[in-house]
Structure 1
Amino acid sequence: MNSFKKYILSYLLVLLFILTSAYSEKITFSASSMSGTAGDSNGKTVLSGNAHILTETMEISADQIELSGKDYRIISASGNISGKNLETKMTFTCQSMSYDRETKVALLENAVHLVDTENDVTADAEIIEYSQNSNVAVMQIQVNLTQKDNKCTAAHAIYRKNEQMLEMSGNPNITQGTDTFRAQNITLNLETQEITLDGRVKGSVTTTPKEEKSPSEPVQTEPPAAEGSKEPENE
């Protein structure tokens, strides 16, 4: 019987395990291989190779996923991570992450790419901490955010999804087409496009010149022939 179990694990290369935790949330996951004790909710379970995990609010795929803590409270992942928050419609990719199922806070690190599909907002940074309860993303290091005609860069930024507000600091810069804005702190309303600049404000805007009407050219007319004049006839 034991050999049969080993054969199933190695041949199918898929483990499907469902558990209900103290947080009243079902977790479903699969992988090429697993180590740890699946039935021990106080232990640690490691999923390796095409690892995939689905909770009621979060879906994650990665090279490796680890479940740890009491009732598998902490989900950690590494390597080619892609995920989606099923409630807020936020998608992301990164190289390492951890997610606390109790506080519903995700810490994404290393080449983070976050997309708010509902509002067409795209953000890149080295570190993004996202709270599912407050719908707030705190971004750090080489922050780049785009939305409509806005291209925003900063060392630190806070994106408030519900209010559609972006707060930036650390040499922040906003480019809107050919217009640029710089300051110590910048706040951008992503819905109204209103910008608030504070401290050492700099910028440049390009105005559209009015179209100048070109003067009408004089009409060329041939002078009238003098009375009595006649073209000589060819003999």
Structure 2
Amino acid sequence: MNKKRFLFLIMLLFSLLPITAEQYSFTSDFLKSVMAEGKENTLLEGNVLIQSEKKKIKADRVEILGKDFQFFICEGNVEVEDLEKNFTLTSDVFHYDNDNRIIRITGPSMMEDRENKMIIKCSYFENREKDDLIILQVGVRILKEDLACRSEFAVYYRDRNVLELTGLPVVYRKDDVFRASRITVDLDTDEIRMEGVVQGSLLSKSQDDNDAENNPAEVVEDSQADTELETPEESP
């Protein structure tokens, strides 16, 4: 099929979306569509590119399901660029609920947050766009200049630029190490709040202290926390 005509058919097909919905254009090497009521299904394969004013999605295969094309299932070399929030997601499988504006990724994924100069890696990723809230689970790694975080569960409030870490959380700030039951990090100020059983090691920077590495400074903890100083045993 002529590529220009193919693109026109795709744009015509998705012009049926409601005026209030986000408008998309699509290109791919192959298109198969079923529009019977209750069985709406569109399959795009080969060099798939989906674009709107807010997003750009690339994948090897995309299946679009539901009335008004509500659900996007993207597979193979998936790259999602959020043009509005200025971040990029990469994964093998990507699910998007277009009506509720929820992104879900199950499996290894990476987010490059250019706005906040941060890299996020995990094995479960959920972005609730309406709430500007990101939920991260399993092997969470968050890297920022002079700051690295590890945990099994994290919530990222992008509107406030705040991280909440639970599940064996560890925060590394330069040469300092912090562990607690819950750690909250303000990414704008690098302020760290710890709750529960707190452990930490702060490396003194005083030029008068000739043995800074063996003289950790006091850790400031939550009023109900127990404090223990320890030497860091691992690096991010």
Band of TM-score, shorter chain = 0.7 to 0.9
Shift of 1:13: 10
TM superposition outliers: structure 1 runs of 4+ over 3 Å: 12-15, 37-42
Kindly, what percent of the aligned residue pairs are identical?
26
Letter in 2 for 1:112: S
Which residue in 2 is equivalent to 1:136? 133
* Residues 1:90 and 2:70 are matched in the alignment: no
CA contact (8 A) 1:13 1:31 kept: no
Q: Distance in 2 between matches of 1:163 and 1:194?
A: 13
> For 1:171, what is the secondary structure of its paired residue?
coil
Deviation at 1:40, TM superposition (A): 7.6
TM-score of the pair, normalised by structure 1 = 0.80
Per the normalisation by structure 2, the TM-score is 0.80
1:110-121 → structure 2 map (5 Å cutoff)? 110-121=107-118
Larger Cα-atom Rg: 1
CA RMSD across the alignment: 2.1
How many pairs were matched up? 203
Q: Conserved in 2, the CA contact under 8 Å of 1:60 and 1:81?
A: yes
Task: List aligned pairs for 1:180-199, cutoff 5 A.
Answer: 180-199=177-196
Shift of 1:178: 1.1
User: Which residue identity does 1:143 align to in structure 2?
Assistant: V
Cα deviation 1:57-80 (Å, max 9, x = unaligned): 221101101111011011110111
Could you tell me which runs of 5 or more consecutive residues in structure 1 were left unpaired when the two chains were aligned.
1-7, 213-235
Q: What are the Cα deviations for residues 158-192 of structure 1, in whole angstroms up to 9, with x where unaligned?
A: 11111010000000000011110000100000111
Distance 1:32 1:62 in 2: 12
Q: Which moved more, 1:31-40 or 1:104-113?
A: 31-40
Which of 54, 77, 80 aligns to 1:57? It is 54
1:65-80 pair list within 5 angstroms: 65-80=62-77
The offset of 1:115, in angstroms, is 1.7
8 Å CA contact 1:78–1:97 kept in 2: the answer is yes
1:60-116 CA distance string (max 9 Å, x none): 101101111011011110111001112211211011111111111111232210122
Runs (5+) with no aligned partner, structure 2: 210-236
